[in-house]
Structure 1
Amino acid sequence: RLLARDPAKVDRVFAALGAPAPDRVAGDVLDPASVARALESCDAVVHAAAVVTNERKRAQEVLDTNPAAARVVLAAAVAAGADPIVHVSSVASLFPPPGPVIDPSTPVASPTSAYGRSKVGAELVARSLQDDGAPVTIVYPGGVWGPHDPNLTEQVRAAGTLVRSGVPITSGGLTVLDVRDLATVIARATVPGQGPRRFLLGGHFFTTPELADLLEEVAGRATRLPSPPRALRTLGRFNDLLMRVIPADLSITYEGMVFLTRGVPTDDSATLEALDVTLRPAGETIADTLRWLLDQGLLRPRHVPRLA
C-alpha cells in the first residue's frame, strides 16, 4: 500500500513499468491522520518520501518537510507495531565526512546544504528511535540513477546534461547507484525480528575523468571540460541567484557543485555482504538511464550516438 498525494500518479507510474498498481491511500506525509490510515493492518513500513533537491529556492520547503515527515511517519509506524520500519536516509547526512571514505562508522555530519541539513534532521529522528530499541532500519543511498524516473530527479537530469554539455573535469567525483539495486537492498532489509540496523549504499564512485571515460565508452560521446572546483561552485552560486528571478531549472547549483567537487567514495562492503547483493555494472546503469532519456525525448541521437 502506498501513501500518495496524487493517487492518479500511482497508476501512471506503474503503467510505465508494466506492473499492476498497488493499493493506495490519498494523503500527505505531514498529515498524521492520513499516515495512520495508510498504516492500518501493515506489518512493515518503508519511509522513502522526501523533497530531494539542491535548489536554493526550495531550501525552506526541504527543511520544513523532510525532518517533520520522518517524525510523523516513523512515530506512527512505531505506534502501529510495524517491524521493520525502513527509513531511507541519504549519504548526504554523512557529508562532508571526516576522512577520505564514507563508511559505516562515519558520524552524522554538519552539512551546509539545506537538503543535507534536512536529511540530518530526519536521521536524528530515526536514530533516536533506534536508541529506544525500535526496529528501525536506516538505508543510506548515494546518487541514484536509472530509467523510469517519474519526477526527473536531479541526478537523472544531470546524466542528460553530462552528455549534452560535457563533463567538468575537476576535483572530487560522484557515485552511481542503480535504482534497481537500491530497491533490492530495501526489499532484502525488510525482514522482521532483526532490531535496529543501518545499511550504507553509496554505489560505484568515479572521479570526473573516470566518469568521462565511461560515458564515452557507453554513449559514444563525452566532452571534457577542465573546470577549477572554485569556479564551479561560483557558477553554482550565480545560477542559484538567477533562478530566483527567471523561470529556469538549471542543473548547476552551488550545493550540487559542493557535492561534486568534494565527493568521496563509500565503503558499501558490509551492506553487500549482509544482504547478499551485487551491484550491477555502472555502465549498464548509465546506458539504461540515457536510453530512457532518449526515449522520453530529453536527449537526441547525436547526444548518445552509440545508444541511438
Structure 2
Amino acid sequence: MLIAVTGGTGFLGAHTVAALLRRGHRVRLLARDPVGPARPGVEVVGGDVTDVAAVRGLVAGADAVLHAAGLYTFDSRRRDELWRVNVRGTEVVLAAARRAGVERIVHVSTVGALYPTTAPSIGVASPIGGSREPYLASKAAAERVARQLRAAGAPVVVTYPPALLGPDDPRLGDQNARLRDVLRGLTPIWPGGGLPVGDVRDSAELHARILAGSVSGAAFFGPGHYSTTREYLAAVREATGRALPAVVLPARALYPVGRLADRLQRVWPRALPVQYGAIHVCATAVPVAADVPSGGVAARPVLETVRDTVAWLHAAGRITRRQAGTAVSTVDVRNAVLTGPGPGAVQTEEVLP
C-alpha cells in the first residue's frame, strides 16, 4: 500500500511511519523542508498542510492518508499559527484526500478536543468540547471539519491520542519537555486533577493497524491510562528513584498563575514551565470510557513508558545522569533509543497533538 502522511516528521507521525515501513508499506511524506537522508520506501513531497498544490500531489494515487500534522503547544504567542496549521491544514488535507478518492482517511485529533465535558468519561459519542484555550479550541475546530466530512460520506476515521510520552521525539514535544522540566526541578507546584497518559509506540501501532485496514470503525482512542497528577508524579519518582518534591494545589486555583505566565511568555524569550493550557487540561480532563475501541492495542503501563522516556532523554543528552536517576540502570538505553523511528527524521514546525 501507498500511504500518504502529514506530520510524519513529528513525534507520533515518525513512530507511525516506522510502524508502516516495518509492515512493508510505502510512505509518502509531506515536509516543509525535505532535506535529509533518503530512506527505502519513503518518498518526500515538499510543502506544508496549507499548500493546496503540494497536498494534492501528496494524496494523488494514495491508498490511505494519515493526517497527523498539527501544532501542539500551549504557547500563547502562537495563536494565529495554531489556527493556520490545525484548522486550515485539516480543511486542505481532508478535502484533497476526499477529492482524490482515497479509500481510508485518518484524522488525528486529541482527547483534548472533547474537553471540557460534564460527563464522567469520554467516548466516541462525546460532543466536541467548547474550550477557549487556543490549542484546544483549534483542535476542536479541526474535529468539526473531520466530523462534517464524515457525515457527508467521506471515509474519515478519527483517532484521539492521549498525552503522549516515549522515546525518539524529533522535536522534544510538549509532554516530553514537561517531563524533562520535572526532572530538572522546574515544576515544584502542580495542579490537581489529572490527564490521560499514553505511549507513542502504542498509538503508532493503532494507526498502522487502521491504515492497513486490519481494524475498522469510525473512531478510535489511543491506548492509555487516566492518571491523576499525583499518580503521574509518583510514577516519575518510582522510575527515577528520586524524591522530586512537589506541592499539588487545586487546578482552578492556579488559573490566575497560568494566565500571568502566558502574559509573561509574550515578552520572555525562553519557554516557561508554567502554562495556562496545561493547567486547564488537568482541571477538565476525565477518563476515557472503558468500552471505547482501541484497535486491540493494549496500553503499556505508565511506569514502563516513563522509564523508557527518561532513559531516552538521558541517552539523547537532554538530561544529566543524576536527573535520570535509576531509570538508566533499569532500562536498556540502547533498546529504548532503537524502538522509535530511527535517525534521519526531517524536522518541521508541524508536530503532533
**TM beyond 0.5:** yes
Question: Residues 169 and 50 (structure 1 numbering): CA distance in 2 closer, same or farther, change over 3 Å?
Answer: closer
Contact 2:192 2:248 (8 Å CA) reproduced? no
Question: Residues 77 and 193 (structure 1 numbering): CA distance in 2 closer, same or farther, change over 3 Å?
Answer: farther
Per-residue CA deviation, residues 203-261 of structure 1 (Å, 9 max, x unaligned), is 21111221222111111123232334244322221221111112011121111111123
Per-residue CA deviation, residues 130-188 of structure 1 (Å, 9 max, x unaligned), is 11111110001110111111111111101111222256454211121111111111111
Normalising by structure 2, report the TM-score: 0.79
Question: Residues 82 and 167 (structure 1 numbering): CA distance in 2 closer, same or farther, change over 3 Å?
Answer: farther
Q: Give the secondary-structure state (helix, strand or coil) at the position aligned to 2:177.
A: helix
Question: Residues 78 and 192 (structure 1 numbering): CA distance in 2 closer, same or farther, change over 3 Å?
Answer: farther
CA distance in structure 1 between the aligned counterparts of 2:217 and 2:91, rounded to whole angstroms: 17
Match of 1:253 in 2: 275
Per the TM alignment, residue 304 of structure 1 is displaced from its structure 2 partner at its CA by 2.3
1:213 equivalenced with 2:234 (yes/no): yes
Q: Which has the higher helix share?
A: 1
Structure 2: unaligned runs, 5 residues or longer: 1-27, 329-353
Q: 129, 154, 169: which one pairs with 2:149?
A: 129
CA distance in structure 1 between the aligned counterparts of 2:100 and 2:327, rounded to whole angstroms: 48
Written as runs of structure 1 = structure 2, the 5 A alignment for 1:23-34 is 23-34=43-54
Q: 32, 37, 41: which one pairs with 1:5?
A: 32
CA distance in structure 2 between the aligned counterparts of 1:72 and 1:193, rounded to whole angstroms: 27
Residue 151 of structure 1 aligns to which amino acid in structure 2?
R
Q: 300, 310, 315: which one pairs with 1:295?
A: 315
Contact 1:83 1:193 (8 Å CA) reproduced? no
Contact 1:77 1:85 (8 Å CA) reproduced? yes
Per-residue CA deviation, residues 51-106 of structure 1 (Å, 9 max, x unaligned), is 11111111121022211111110011011111100000111110011212122221
CA distance in structure 1 between the aligned counterparts of 2:275 and 2:313, rounded to whole angstroms: 21
Q: 28, 39, 50: which one pairs with 2:70?
A: 50
Question: Residues 4 and 196 (structure 1 numbering): CA distance in 2 closer, same or farther, change over 3 Å?
Answer: same
Contact 1:136 1:196 (8 Å CA) reproduced? no
Match of 2:56 in 1: 36
Match of 1:81 in 2: 101
Q: 210, 218, 226: which one pairs with 1:189?
A: 210
Contact 1:84 1:191 (8 Å CA) reproduced? no
Match of 2:192 in 1: 171
CA distance in structure 2 between the aligned counterparts of 1:233 and 1:149, rounded to whole angstroms: 29
Q: Give the secondary-structure state (helix, strand or coil) at the position aligned to 1:23.
A: strand
CA distance in structure 1 between the aligned counterparts of 2:67 and 2:112, rounded to whole angstroms: 17
Q: Give the secondary-structure state (helix, strand or coil) at the position aligned to 1:271.
A: coil
Number of corresponding residues: 299
